[in-house]
Amino acid sequence: MIKRVKSLFRPVAVGLCAAALVTACATQPGSDTLTLNERDYFERPGVNVLAFANPPGGLFFDAKTSGVEIIHHGERTATNGDVRLLPTPEQWDGMGQLVERRVVRDSQRVETQLAYPEHDFEYTVVTEAQGDKVLMRVLLDEPLPAALEGKAGLNMEFVPAAYFGKGYLADGVAGTFPRHPAGPMIVKDGLTESTPFAQGQHLVLAPEDPKRTVSIRNLRDERELMLYDGRNKAQNGWYVVRSLLPAGESGVVAEWELDINGIPGWTRAPVISYSQLGYHPAQNKRAIIELDANAQPEGAARLLRVKDSGATEVVKQGTPETWGDYLRYQYLTFDFSDVTEPGLYQLAYGDQTTLPFPIDDKVHENTWQLTLDVFFPVQMDHMKVREAYRVWHGASHLDDALQAPPNYEHFDLFAHDENTDTDFEPFEHIPGLNYGGWYDAGDYDIRTQSQYFTVQHLVHTWEQFGIDRDNTTVLQDKRYAEIHRPDGKSDILQQIEHGTLALIAQHRAIGHAIPGIVASHLYQYPHLGDGSTKTDNKVYDPALDPHADERGVGEMYEPSTIDPTPTEDVMPSDTMRSGRFDDRWAFTTNTTALNYGSAAALAAASRALSGYNDELADESLQTARNVWEYEQGREPNTFRNANTTGGRIEEEQLKAAVELLLSTQEEKYADAVRALLPQVSERFAQNAFMLAAALPLMDEAYERDLRELTQAYRDSIGEFEAENPFGVPITRGGWAGAGTVISFGIANYWLNQAFPDIVEADLVHRSLNFVFGQHPASNYSFVSGLGPDSATVAYGNNRADFSFIPGGIIPGILVLPPDFPENKNNWPFFWGQNEYVITVGGSYLFLSNAVSSMFAQP
């Protein structure tokens, strides 16, 4: 049982200011005193200090969005100020659990009680403002447990990208922060650990840069501050300042003084948000200007035309309209919809001028091509992928997959209960799962829910917009793809085929859809680089010596002998087996939601593949029919565990019913859609695209019901329009919301096509504008490589190189409690802000083509 650490201070009531009252929470310009504001963090110009505004942990454990944190001149530079049990903890290493957070306003203090229950260890972190400084103290009621002596310490992590090339002083001894980790490692208690590269009673970070200068003074003389480089252990590690907690003591056992430099009167520069890709002459055009809460409006905004000579002329100017406050910023808007003449333009406000953008009737025609040409081929699993002189990766995971054990929860949130729903023994090889599919994200999983979502959106893109682009060679029989090399076949059909092969493989090999296939060991899971080196590509055989010579990867298979649609193991020979237990695991629970979702994608794929791969098309449709009949005849299996289970059963069933209706036009599927309508209407926004897709094959009563739901939905959008100036749903939580905004645009496209008198075209356009740069905190494009300024440091499989995959779409702006919108465009390792996922790639292809098609309509 967790015991409460006694508070030394009297708590008082806490009040939060409303989202609209930004200025009431702002520090008065020129104030040097750190003040605990109405949103419960400390601030003065250029400095915010948050104390456990987010509970420890977060999505997939350590999200580096908790503890005592510093937002320094508009950028979050430090996090995880807390007691940790290692010098440089990695993502899955232990963190204290939140017990209680109290704000003591009259003493300018935040007290946070935490515990490590597994060690029977409780403590309190007190964060207190004293003038222009912050004190951090660790309080113990009882001395450290003996097992934590020499291990527990007060840590704070500083993001390396903010300190690359900058200096530090440790008790006056100078150094510079390393660009790449270096320095000796030690082995302690069986673990490899970093050693500090600087230490002393007083550390000053970046003394030469007033925007990043932080002084940390240890007020307990017997404990030095130690400065570590966490990247010695993991590429996503941060610089860590640490002091050990003493053994045998209680009360205040650690005390730091933080002096965080703030430039007097500092205010954040305005951000002019707009579409990096430009505008069609006929669309609404509105710049949104984001200002610091303490900034004063600076007069006119201007639209400049760029002439052939390079000179500019003002074609429109005016005082921006005041929109109001959202999160921590105030907003103005500048409408230039009346400017329709094609040309190259820039926006200007104060001393800020944007990069150039076009106004032209063809601006949206090619915005989808990088995603189809590059991103999707790079994500192809079980294939070698080449682009000109570069090989993105070799043919990967040819040893898929072993049966995952029962009663097991995986670190990536897959799970089994006591049932695996197959006849395979734990860790037995399941033949026939080693082809098709895409890497789910910046990792290398085959997550079935993502696969079928993506196939479905690719099919809808192909059907609705008639994409017939050929820029990539795909040879399924040779497990080979080559980017920028046409092969006479439609690229989108080849991608639909590749995803369909992975889905159908599950039904062939196991008899039903499965949750997915994932790395078995934690050391493999964060693998960076070439996916073909993640396993030895040989089927695990426990009878073989795991330390035997592996032989060369290139000798493991003969590409010309591989059947692109095998019905049995394609790797049967002893020379393609090994004793290395490195194969991925298949989680195989037979859940109703996943079966319906997979059937929906297979039914959709059957339409696209008809005439392209008739055999696969016929098998996909028949499998979808069989799944429908099977699920209609049994009680639903509702086992749920995070990544394991698919979406809501009624919504996945709706997808299957609609896709089977579109593929067969059989009345029983129309009846199912009609029966499901009341069940899914409460989440109409999430289901609108399916409900509208069925409309041409439904009766007049259904159309009337759908019209009524659409009107109520349009009325509800007013909530987003009142909450933020971008007029789209901006999510809160552990994963940023570009995907949600894209889905919002897709729903609005389908409803606009069905009921243009209710849902206007601008609702579709504004979603794409959001992705292209019209969003909080910055104005760069979330589509890597698309637009003059885009996300080119992202969480793909090449993130260790601080690089990107062209055409990948990042999640974008993550709103950190209570009010900080963030996208770290200089640090790729924030998965919730920067990780590519195939689902967003597929839905983006649809939305970008939808907008283009709407402007092409007469």
Mean pLDDT value of segment 157-183: 95
pLDDT at 222 over 90: no
Residue listed under structure tokens 């527990």: 152
pLDDT at 763 over 70: yes
**Is residue 832 very low, low, confident or very high in pLDDT (cuts 50, 70, 90)?**
very high
**Angle (CA) 559 565 566, round 5°:** 80
pLDDT at 17 over 70: no
User: What is the DSSP code string of 504-544?
Assistant: HHHHHHTSS--SEEE-SSTTTTT--S-GGGSS-SSEE-TTS
**Cβ-proximal residues to 807 (8 Å cutoff; 6+ apart), any chain:** 369, 370, 371, 372, 373, 374, 375, 376, 783, 784, 785, 786, 841
Position 566 scores a pLDDT of: 38
In a domain, 644, yes or no: no
User: How many domains, in total, are found in the chain?
Assistant: 3
Mean pLDDT value of segment 110-118: 98
CA 769 distance to own-chain centroid: 19
pLDDT at 381 over 60: yes
**Is residue 549 very low, low, confident or very high in pLDDT (cuts 50, 70, 90)?**
low
Query: Could you say which of 200, 231, 260 is where a domain stops?
Result: 260
Position 320 scores a pLDDT of: 98
**Cβ-proximal residues to 580 (8 Å cutoff; 6+ apart), any chain:** 535, 536, 538, 540, 546, 550
Q: Report the C-alpha gap between 82 and 95 in whole angstroms.
A: 9
Phi, psi of 563 (to 5 degrees): -75, 125
Position 575 scores a pLDDT of: 52
> Mind listing the pLDDT tens digit for each residue in 260-273?
999 999 999 999 99
pLDDT at 510 over 60: yes
Q: Is 175 helix (H, G, I), strand (E, B) or coil?
A: strand
In a domain, 197, yes or no: yes
464-to-467, 504, 528 alpha-carbon distances in Å: 9, 24, 37
Q: Is 441 helix (H, G, I), strand (E, B) or coil?
A: coil
In a domain, 548, yes or no: no
In a domain, 540, yes or no: no
For residue 475, the surrounding DSSP H or E stretch is strand 472-475
pLDDT at 802 over 50: yes
Residues 289 and 202 in one domain: no
Show the 3-state SS of 331-347.
EEEEECCCCCCCEEEEE
Q: Report the C-alpha gap between 252 and 242 in whole angstroms.
A: 16
Average pLDDT, the chain: 92
Position 734 scores a pLDDT of: 84
AA identity, residue 286? R
Mean pLDDT value of segment 389-417: 94
Q: Which two tokens stand for residue 723?
A: 């909450």
pLDDT-wise least confident of 31-40, 285-294, 375-384, 613-622:
31-40
Position 183 scores a pLDDT of: 78
Q: Which two tokens stand for residue 840?
A: 């967003």
pLDDT at 18 over 80: no
pLDDT at 149 over 80: yes
Mean pLDDT value of segment 289-295: 96
Any idea of the CA torsion for 684, 685, 687, 689, to the nearest 10 degrees? 130
Q: Report the C-alpha gap between 796 and 808 in whole angstroms.
A: 8
**Is residue 516 very low, low, confident or very high in pLDDT (cuts 50, 70, 90)?**
very high
Residues 199 and 279 in one domain: no
Q: Which two tokens stand for residue 579?
A: 């004793």
In a domain, 278, yes or no: yes
Q: Report the C-alpha gap between 856 and 526 in whole angstroms.
A: 44
Show the 3-state SS of 290-323.
EEECCCCCCCCEEEEEECCCCCEEEEEEECCEEE
Position 198 scores a pLDDT of: 96
Nearest to 741 by CA among 778, 710, 770, 782: 770
The larger pLDDT score, comparing residue 524 to residue 162, is at: 162
Position 28 scores a pLDDT of: 47
Residues 68 and 160 in one domain: yes
Q: Report the C-alpha gap between 654 and 104 in whole angstroms.
A: 51
28 touches 43 (CB < 8 A): no
In a domain, 553, yes or no: no
Largest CA distance in the chain: 81
Nearest to 624 by CA among 700, 512, 717, 537: 512
> Mind listing the pLDDT tens digit for each residue in 342-362?
999 999 999 999 999 999 999
The larger pLDDT score, comparing residue 288 to residue 641, is at: 288
DSSP H helices, 610-717, are 614-632, 649-664, 667-680, 684-693, 700-716
Residues 52 and 164 in one domain: yes
pLDDT at 675 over 60: yes
680 touches 691 (CB < 8 A): yes
Model-wide pTM > 0.75 = yes
Q: Report the C-alpha gap between 750 and 365 in whole angstroms.
A: 19
In a domain, 711, yes or no: no
**Is residue 31 very low, low, confident or very high in pLDDT (cuts 50, 70, 90)?**
low
> Mind listing the pLDDT tens digit for each residue in 453-469?
999 999 999 999 999 99
Residues 319 and 222 in one domain: no
Query: Could you say which of 359, 391, 425 is where a domain stops?
Result: 359
Across the beta sheet with 133-140, the strand order is: 97-104, 109-116, 121-130, 133-140, 251-260, 214-218, 202-205, 167-170, 173-176
> What percent of the chain has pLDDT above 70?
93
Q: Report the C-alpha gap between 813 and 732 in whole angstroms.
A: 9
Rg of the chain (C-alpha set): 28
Residues 224 and 276 in one domain: no
Mean pLDDT value of segment 65-79: 98
Strand partners, 809: 783
> Mind listing the pLDDT tens digit for each residue in 680-696?
999 999 999 999 999 99
Q: Are strands 68-72 and 47-51 parallel, antiparallel or unpaired?
A: antiparallel
Residues 97 and 218 in one domain: yes
Residues 94 and 125 in one domain: yes
**Cis geometry, peptide bond prior to residue 818 (ω within 30 degrees of 0):** yes
Position 652 scores a pLDDT of: 98
Where in the sequence is the domain holding 847, given as residue range(s)? 717-858
Q: For helices 448-465 and 592-609, what crossing angle results, to 10°?
A: 30
Q: What is the CATH number of the domain that holds 190?
A: 2.70.98
In a domain, 784, yes or no: yes
> Mind listing the pLDDT tens digit for each residue in 776-786?
999 999 999 99
Query: Could you say which of 202, 237, 260 is where a domain stops?
Result: 260
Residues 275 and 213 in one domain: no
Q: Report the C-alpha gap between 21 and 28 in whole angstroms.
A: 14
Position 647 scores a pLDDT of: 87
Residues 243 and 283 in one domain: no
Residues 802 and 773 in one domain: yes
**Is residue 413 very low, low, confident or very high in pLDDT (cuts 50, 70, 90)?**
confident
pLDDT at 26 over 50: no
| 438, burial (CB in 10 Å: exposed 0-12, middle 13-18, buried 19+) | buried
Residues 205 and 346 in one domain: no
Position 29 scores a pLDDT of: 43
**Is residue 11 very low, low, confident or very high in pLDDT (cuts 50, 70, 90)?**
very low
